[in-house]
Each structure stands twice: as C-alpha cells, then as structure tokens.
A and B are shown apart, each in its own frame.
Chain A
C-alpha cells in the first residue's frame, strides 16, 4: 500500500466534507474490494475516510412495499434478515452468494453499489428491481446510476446512505460464478412487477451491468424461460478474457437469463 491519511468521522456530513476537501480522497466501507486494490497498489488515495464509525448507516426496514437497506449493512445481515427473506427473497438469495462467508461479514451494500464492479452482484439487483439509490444529497434511480465500468452518477463528496428496493415477489437472481474469485461470470436478476419486466445482467458486458432490453420486450408477451429460447445478447459487447470468450459469455447470458426468469415466474 502507498501511504495515506486515515480518517474516522462520526457523521455523514463530516465524512462528506473530509472526502470533498481531500486532494484524492476515498471512502472506505467494508473494504473488501478497496483494501485488496490498495494492497496491489492499483489505487493510491491520499486520504481514506472510514464510514465504520458513522451511526445510522446500517439497518433494514420495510414500509408498505418498499424495503430500505442502509448503505453500511453487511451482505451477511441482508442474507440472514427475516424481513428481507419475507419481502424480497431474491435479494436475500443474492446477498447469500456474494464472495464467501468472511467477505459477507464485512462487505456492504453501499460499498458494492458505489464501486460498481462490472462483475458485482448488487448492481444487478438495483437495476433489475428499479431501486432508488439515496445519497446525502439526492435520490437517484438505478437506471440513471450505473454509468459504466466502475463509474456511477455519484459526485465527489456524495455518499450513499441507503437504497430503497420495491418488494417484488416475482423476482430471482441466478449466478454463474467464477470458482476462484467468486465474482459473477454472468449473473442475471429477473423481475416482474405488474407490467414492468426487467432483466439485468452483471459480469458479462464490457460496459458493466446492463438491462437486456431485447429479452425484456420478448418477456412482455409471455414471462417464461422458454420465451428466451435461442436468444443471447451480441457477443461483441461481452467481455472476452482468459476465463471465457465473448461468444461463451453471450451464450451464458441466454442460459442464465432463462433460469432466472423460470425461477422468478415460479416465485
């Protein structure tokens, strides 16, 4: 790691001021991505602003049909929450397959979403459910939030405080994970809420998480796995690396999407 100055503020306001005034400041949530990145010297922030001592950033609450989860809520808490399990089981399922148990005990919802790793799981849930990302400054719809690889609509000094998810019953997340990294080779979050059908794909695209609109349109006729038979997104848009070619990933998106839609339709 390169040297940095460590800060441990006790309010969101103070954290925002610290990160905004730092020349190259970085927020630290669970640290399960940021710390490995720092250790590899792939990032060299001058100031690290730890959100660990800020109160009221974690917790899970259900009001009507809206499930609100604090940004510092650990994946393990979401996976084990009876409230999430009852209101939005697909989200509990998703949290339960992030990383491994130790990573889930540290990693946070807000950290995952703010980082927007192209293979992370939570961005697929946000986009697949049409969640609202709430910051210390405003509310951002998921459709406007994820802008590309590791890029989001967050401005400097803007901090995610919580995320509001519609509690959709007909929803499912299916992940084909890389066995070593535990990241998604392909992960698909499929959801049907009245006429709103969403299919969000992570892990596959060169531009990060995306809605597979061709599939969504087809599913409006009939929300069933079979509807997607033979369909896959353009291979040219997919990641091609030592783990799999673009053609492989495109095929995998089709297969995993069918499974996700089947699971969502049965939910």
Chain B
C-alpha cells in the first residue's frame, strides 16, 4: 500500500494506507482527530470541512493521497481548550449551534470566508458563503451572528495584544 505524508496542524503525519482512504478517514481513524465530522458523506453538508493548504475543502471528497505534501488544518488545530480561536469563541458567545454536529465544519468554513473577504462581513455575504454547510437544527440565525462577530475579532489590531476588549484571544492557525 502507498505511504502518504502530510502536515496536520503543524505536525508531520505519515501512514501506509489503502488508496481509497478519504482525507476525513485518515484524520479521524489514523490520527484520531475526530473533531472533523462526517455528516452526509456526499459533499453536501460541509461537516467535514478542513483547510487544505489554507483553503476550505470537504475532506470526504478528497483522497488522503491527494493531500500528499500538503498542510492540513482541522478544528483541533485552530484553537485549544482555554485558548479558543476568535471564531470558536464567537460561536460559543453567540450560541451558534444547537446539537453541535455541524459546528466544526461551520467554523472552518467561517475562517475561510474571513481569509477571502476580510473582517467586515455583511449578513447577506455570510449567508451566501455558508452555502456549502448545512445545519439540521436550522440554527443559522446565531451562526450568522457568530461568523460576523468572529470575523471582526480576527482583525489583526484586536488579536495582536492577546486579549481585545471582548476578551478574545488568538490562537495560531
């Protein structure tokens, strides 16, 4: 079987895998990073969203072998307990979830939106850009509020000092 090597959350990960192994399987079953969820498994719901070389992708629709040499960031790599990423903190603050199943994918997608569109996001843009993520609890209202707030909190000026006025701290992605 072929060997795949990639960087996951800053650490080198390598394994001998069946070529059919999906990136999400590799993360969950080889690396035990179970924060990335499998919802629909048909690239509709976005629960499996991770960053591949900085871009949000659906890890249920990428072969692990395609990520050879790439840098992958999962929800575990975004923040840490007690040191949440501003986007995670905003989801907590605004209760941008009900059951929480879609949350890791929502947060990874939200950070990608900020990377592409900056820190001031309109509600319309957020709703449009969350097209690839489905919440079955229909909790979009608070999710949208959380993304807007998280985006503002990710602004460099606020993050640089460690804690901003909202008490948010940065974690290295």
- A31→B23 CA distance, assembly (Å): 13
Question: Among the listed A3, A8, A39, A99, which residue makes an inter-chain contact with B132, where contact means beta carbons less than 8 Å apart?
Answer: A99
Residues from chain A with a CB closer than 8 A to the CB of B129 are 101
- A210→B132 CA distance, assembly (Å): 29
Residues from chain A with a CB closer than 8 A to the CB of B11 are none
- Give chain B's interface secondary structure class: mixed
B residues 8-60 near A (Cβ < 8 Å) are 18-20, 22, 41-44, 46, 49, 52, 55-58
Indicate whether B65 reaches chain A with its CB closer than 8 angstroms: yes
B19 and A106 within 8 A (CB): no
B66 and A31 within 8 A (CB): yes
Indicate whether A50 reaches chain B with its CB closer than 8 angstroms: yes
Residues from chain A with a CB closer than 8 A to the CB of B56 are 101-102, 105
- A150→B66 CA distance, assembly (Å): 24
A36 and B61 within 8 A (CB): yes
Indicate whether A156 reaches chain B with its CB closer than 8 angstroms: no
B17 to chain A, nearest CB (A): 10
Residues from chain A with a CB closer than 8 A to the CB of B68 are 8, 52-53
- A3→B19 CA distance, assembly (Å): 8
A76 and B61 within 8 A (CB): no
Residues from chain B with a CB closer than 8 A to the CB of A52 are 66, 68
Residues from chain A with a CB closer than 8 A to the CB of B22 are 35
Residues from chain A with a CB closer than 8 A to the CB of B46 are 100, 102
C-beta contact mask, A89-105 vs B, less than 8 Å → 1, else 0?
00000000001111101
Question: Among the listed A3, A53, A76, A80, which residue makes an inter-chain contact with B20, where contact means beta carbons less than 8 Å apart?
Answer: A3
Residues from chain B with a CB closer than 8 A to the CB of A53 are 68
A residues 1-31 near B (Cβ < 8 Å) are 1, 3-6, 8, 28, 31
Total interface residues on A, CB under 8 Å, equals: 27
Indicate whether A48 reaches chain B with its CB closer than 8 angstroms: yes
| A3 to B, closest residue via Cβ | B20
B157 to chain A, nearest CB (A): 25
Residues from chain A with a CB closer than 8 A to the CB of B52 are 105
A152 to chain B, nearest CB (A): 23
Residues from chain A with a CB closer than 8 A to the CB of B49 are 102
Residues from chain B with a CB closer than 8 A to the CB of A242 are none
Indicate whether A32 reaches chain B with its CB closer than 8 angstroms: yes
- A154→B63 CA distance, assembly (Å): 25
Residues from chain B with a CB closer than 8 A to the CB of A63 are none
A31 and B63 within 8 A (CB): yes
Residues from chain B with a CB closer than 8 A to the CB of A100 are 46, 131-132
Could you list 12 A-B pairs, sorted by A, with CB under 8 Å? Answer: A1-B20, A3-B19, A6-B2, A8-B65, A8-B68, A31-B62, A35-B62, A48-B19, A102-B43, A102-B58, A102-B109, A103-B61
Given A35-B43, A103-B132, 5 other A-B contacts at CB below 8 A? A3-B18, A100-B132, A102-B43, A102-B56, A102-B109
